[in-house]
Structures are given as C-alpha cells and as structure tokens.
C-alpha cells in the first residue's frame, strides 16, 4: 500500500482549522491562494513546495500547551478566531482582543474583579504567550519531521508568527530574516481570513494598510495587483483533488510503516493539547491492538483498528479546551458540541481514502453502543463491526482509568467491572470487553459475560445452538433434553432478550459474542 502524504496533510489541516477557530477549508483555500501567488511571483518548484507545505501545516503545532492558553484567557478557540482578523502588530487591536477574552472568561464577575483580572492579564500576557508560541513552532517542526518532511520545509514552521516589521513573536525576527515562504503564506492566510470576515474590497484595504508592517510592501503590491485572479473561487470550499493536483513535484508517497508513523504523530498531536489526555490515544491503540489479535481480526482490520485508535479523538480539537478543563458539568449546548467530535473525526480522516476510509468509519463509531445509546448517530449492533466494538471497549476502559478535571480516574478493577456491567446490559460487546480486559491484565471472568440478560447457562447453550442454525429439535438432541423442554427454554430466552424470531435471537447472540464463544470453545 502507498498513500499520498498530501492526504495526511489535508487531514491535519482540517483538524487544525477546527482547533484554531478558522472557517471550513481555511488551510486548503489558503494553500491554493499561496501556490497561485508563488507562481505569480515567479517562484521555482522548490519554493512552491515550501509555500504549499507552509500553508497546509502552519498551525499543526498549535495544539501544544492549549491548556495554558485556556487557563490564562478562557475559550481559546474564540480568542484565536479574533486574532486571525486583527493586525497583531497594532498594539491597540492586540490589547483589546485580550481584554475581550478576559471579559468572556469572567462573564458574571464584578466590575472590580474584572478590572483587576484585566490589569494582571495585560501585565503578565507576554510571559504567558511567548513560551506557548515558541512551543507551537517547535512542536510543528517535530510533527513535520515525524511525517517525513525535509529540513527546508520544517525550518519555515519555526517562524509561523514572525512578521516583516519585527513585531511578530516569539523572536521578533524582521525583514529577510523571516523566510520568504513564511512571509508569502502569512499574507495569503490573512487575505483568506479577512475575505471571510469583511469581504473582498475591505480585505484589500486591510492588506494595503498593513503593507510595510506585517508584509513587505512589494509583496503586498504584487498581491493587490493580481488579487481578483488570485482569489477567484476561493470564497467556497476546496476539494481534495484540487490540493493533490497543485502539489509541486515530486509527490511524496508513504508506505505502510511511514503511514503508521504519520498516524502516531497525529495521535500525539491530539493528546498533547491537555495534560490529562497525554498518551491517551497510544494507550487506547495498544489495548485495541492486543484485543484485536486475541479476537483474531484479519490484518487489514487490525491496521485500520490501530490507526483509528491513534486518531479517534481528532475531532475533539473542535471543542475548546476551556470546556474540558472546567470542573462542573457541561451545558446542553456544550454536550451537543462534544458529542459531534466523532463526526469531525470522520470528516478529518476521509481525505485519506483507501484504508483511511475504514479508519474514518471506525473513528465515526468510537462512542456508539450496541443498544443505540451511544453517540452521535445512535448506531446499533448491526452497524458495529468487531473492530468498532473493540475500539469502543478499549476507549471506554482507558478513559475510565484516566482522571479528568471534572472526575477522578478509577482503578483498573473498577474500570473492568464498569465495562462488564456495560456488556451485561447490552451496551458493549462482551467478547470485545473480555479481550480488552485480558489485554490490560485483568483476570478473566467469562461466566458473567457469557450469560447476559439474566439467561440461565442452559438457555445460553440453547441460544448458541439455534443461533448457529439448529432447529429446536436438533438442539434438544444435542443437549440430551426433551423437545418440549427445548421449546420452553427458547420461549423463556426469547422473552428475556426481547426478541420474537430465531433470526433476531441469532443476531443477539452475535452482538454478545456468544456465537464466537461457541466456536472458540469447540
């Protein structure tokens, strides 16, 4: 197998657009604009490659230390959304943006408290922001290295907030010390953000006002001279094929090992957003991988399962960290937003095509439950493959063990009994649960999982036989009981599990892993 690396870049771009409060396809649209602009400026293929990657990846490090940003300024996505439109070298605009952030964070505080917080925030703002922004640059470079990007592309990611006039952060570089692709992409991305915010004509005025400040005058003039053509069609979404088509040669391909590394890099990027999720995706992947092997999943399913485990929470980037960090319960609106993260996860991973489609399908279902009580599609057992069931169980076990600001973590034993209760009550697949627990070193307790819905051991035996296609008479013969007794068992178990047909009983047995049990016991 081989995958275009550009597909991974698009997945990362989608996720970082969400995390930074940008509009849909922001990075993709800015990539098209930046490449067109580079061509207009007469840059060669090598420079165009740098521009292409800078536009797609500029914000991939911005997940680092998000909890510190949220602790200082509250809703970090709202703050970032505002920062995209202002001229960050304009002190008045910059200060006002942070005052609004503090005001949002302290909604309901007294005027005195608010005034004190603003005074303190503005005095300490640089101390808070500069190390965070430095971290973003460094992390972006490391992630880029892990997805196989060369040094000349990575070095530009170390300058993402620098400006022509030296008023950028964190190093205050100026003039040509700021690399040309960085300068060009900064202008292109500001143009897209301003187009969305204030429209085409006002965007041009803002770019003109910033010439000689945020951007070198010549570059701003070149852009303004061709802006109509450069921006044509960029007020709407951009598709995957367009981004693949404009990638300057050579087109990098990733083999299976390189894909594994790229997925793992995404896992770490997701988890480093908050200290309490650190290592979460790796741990879920290790559990899921071991459980999948125990259950004998085919190689292709194993690969998709592991990659989905690495990336299952990529859609969480759409939800402000400030929500997760709060000790209280979520509002209804926040819960709705949180429940949509599997959707965003699927959407982010879809560009990956091929195997990536299986990965996206698993990510979409990682919070679904067999009985339809999960989210966000309320899928049911028939829509949940063995890999989906394992991922759901591994995620539930690992998450229960981890502490969150709004609840403590529980012991392995407590997490295990919680999962077994979920299996008994028909939410999680018993076989997947036992496979995950065995992988986590929990002692097996198969009897409980074997007899869901209060079935007696004999009813389970009858159920397994009829699920495997035997008639009541054949089941009676195999179990050495009277046909009438077998009939009675069937009526009793049907009523306990809430079905009226053999087919539905067979499906129930599949859902609970009872058929599998029978084969593995044989």
Interface contacts to Fe ion, rule CB under 5 A? 313
> Cβ of residue 363: shortest distance to Fe ion, in angstroms?
9
> Cβ of residue 259: shortest distance to Fe ion, in angstroms?
22
> Cβ of residue 376: shortest distance to Fe ion, in angstroms?
10
Of 14 and 26, which has the nearer Cβ to Fe ion?
14
Instruction: Please provide the size of the chain in residues.
Output: 522
> Cβ of residue 392: shortest distance to Fe ion, in angstroms?
10
* CA 195/CA 26 separation, integer angstroms: 11
170: left (phi over 0), alpha (psi -120 to 50) or beta: alpha
> Cβ of residue 424: shortest distance to Fe ion, in angstroms?
23
Of 168 and 342, which has the nearer Cβ to Fe ion?
342
Of 277 and 358, which has the nearer Cβ to Fe ion?
277
Q: Which residues contact 344 (CB under 8 A, 6 or more apart)?
A: 15, 18, 314, 315, 316, 317, 318
Of 163 and 366, which has the nearer Cβ to Fe ion?
366
Q: Are 52 and 251 in contact (CB under 8 A)?
A: no
SS3 assignment for 147-213: CCCCHHHHHHHHHCCCCCCCCCCCCCCCHHHCCHHHHHHHHHHHHHHHHHHHCHHHHHHHHHHHECC
Give residue number: closest CB to Fe ion.
Answer: 313
Of 279 and 483, which has the nearer Cβ to Fe ion?
279
* CA 398/CA 439 separation, integer angstroms: 12
- H or E stretch covering 442: none
Of 312 and 512, which has the nearer Cβ to Fe ion?
312
> Strand, coil or helix: what is 302?
helix
Of 83 and 428, which has the nearer Cβ to Fe ion?
428
> Cβ of residue 395: shortest distance to Fe ion, in angstroms?
6
Closest CA to 136 of 185, 82, 186, 66: 66
> Cβ of residue 410: shortest distance to Fe ion, in angstroms?
18
Sign of the torsion angle spanned by Cα atoms 110, 113, 116, 119: negative
Of 381 and 392, which has the nearer Cβ to Fe ion?
392
Q: What are the residue ranges of helices labelled H in 246-331?
A: 256-271, 280-294, 299-311, 321-325
> Cβ of residue 341: shortest distance to Fe ion, in angstroms?
6
Of 313 and 422, which has the nearer Cβ to Fe ion?
313
> Strand, coil or helix: what is 108?
coil
Of 188 and 284, which has the nearer Cβ to Fe ion?
284
Sign of the torsion angle spanned by Cα atoms 490, 491, 492, 497: positive
Give DSSP secondary structure letters for 44-106. Answer: -HHHHHHHHHHHHHTTTTTTTTHHHHHHHHS-HHHHHHHHTTS-TT-HHHHHHHHHHHHHHHT
Of 162 and 313, which has the nearer Cβ to Fe ion?
313
> Cβ of residue 240: shortest distance to Fe ion, in angstroms?
25
* CA 449/CA 361 separation, integer angstroms: 27
Roughly how many angstroms between the first and final C-alpha of the chain, as a whole number? 36
Q: What is the DSSP letter of 329?
A: P
296: left (phi over 0), alpha (psi -120 to 50) or beta: left
Q: What angle do CA 204, 78, 67 make, to 5 degrees?
A: 130
> Cβ of residue 370: shortest distance to Fe ion, in angstroms?
17
> Cβ of residue 366: shortest distance to Fe ion, in angstroms?
6
> Cβ of residue 391: shortest distance to Fe ion, in angstroms?
10
Report residue 377 CA to chain centroid gap.
17
Of 349 and 486, which has the nearer Cβ to Fe ion?
349
């Amino acid at each position: 197998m081989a995958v275009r690396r550009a597909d991974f870049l698009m997945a990362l771009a989608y996720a970082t657009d969400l995390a930074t409060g940008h509009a849909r396809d922001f990075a993709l649209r800015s990539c098209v604009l930046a490449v067109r602009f580079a061509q207009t400026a007469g840059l060669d293929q090598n420079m165009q490659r740098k521009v292409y990657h800078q536009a797609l990846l500029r914000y991939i490090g911005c997940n680092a230390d998000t909890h510190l940003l949220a602790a200082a300024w509250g809703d970090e996505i709202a703050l970032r959304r505002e920062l995209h439109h202002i001229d960050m070298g304009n002190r008045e605009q910059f200060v006002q943006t942070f005052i609004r952030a503090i005001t949002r964070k302290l909604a309901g505080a007294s005027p005195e408290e608010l005034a004190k917080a603003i005074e303190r925030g503005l005095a300490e703002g640089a101390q808070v922001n500069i190390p965070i922004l430095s971290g973003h640059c460094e992390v972006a470079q490391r992630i880029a290295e892990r997805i196989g990007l060369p040094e000349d592309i990575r070095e530009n990611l170390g300058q993402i907030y620098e400006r022509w006039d030296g008023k950028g952060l964190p190093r205050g570089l100026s003039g040509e010390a700021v690399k040309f692709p960085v300068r060009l992409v900064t202008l292109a991305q500001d143009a897209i953000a301003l187009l969305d915010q204030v429209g085409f004509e006002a965007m041009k005025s803002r770019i003109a006002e910033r010439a000689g400040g945020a951007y070198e005058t010549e570059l701003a003039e070149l852009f303004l001279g061709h802006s109509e053509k450069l921006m044509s069609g960029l007020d709407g979404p951009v598709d995957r094929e367009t981004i693949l088509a404009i990638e300057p040669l050579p087109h990098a391909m990733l083999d299976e090992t390189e894909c594994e590394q790229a997925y793992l890099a995404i896992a770490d990027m997701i988890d480093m957003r908050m200290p309490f999720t650190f290592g979460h995706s790796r741990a879920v992947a290790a559990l899921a991988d071991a459980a999948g092997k125990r259950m004998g999943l085919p190689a292709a399913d194993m690969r998709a399962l592991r990659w989905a485990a690495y990336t299952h929470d990529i859609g969480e980037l759409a939800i402000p960290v400030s929500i997760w960090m709060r000790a209280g319960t979520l509002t209804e609106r926040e819960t709705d937003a949180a429940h949509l993260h599997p959707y965003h996860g699927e959407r982010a991973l879809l560009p990956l095509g091929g195997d990536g489609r299986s990965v996206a399908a698993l990510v979409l279902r990682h919070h679904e439950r067999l009985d339809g009580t999960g989210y966000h599609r309320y899928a049911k057992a028939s829509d949940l493959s063995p890999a989906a069931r394992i991922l759901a169980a591994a995620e539930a076990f690992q998450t229960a063990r981890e502490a969150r600001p709004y609840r403590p973590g529980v012991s392995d034993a407590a997490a295990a009994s919680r999962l077994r209760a979920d299996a008994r009550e028909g939410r999680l697949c018993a076989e997947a649960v036992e496979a995950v627990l065995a992988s986590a070193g929990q002692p097996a307790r198969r009897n409980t999982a074997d007899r869901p819905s209060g079935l007696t051991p004999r009813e389970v035996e009858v159920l397994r036989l009829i699920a495997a296609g035997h008639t009541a008479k054949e089941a009676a013969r195999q179990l050495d009981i009277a046909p009438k007794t077998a009939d009675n068992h069937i009526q009793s178990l049907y009523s306990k599990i809430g079905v009226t047909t053999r087919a539905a009983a067979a499906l129930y047995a599949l859902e609970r892993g009872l058929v599998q049990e029978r084969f593995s016991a044989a």
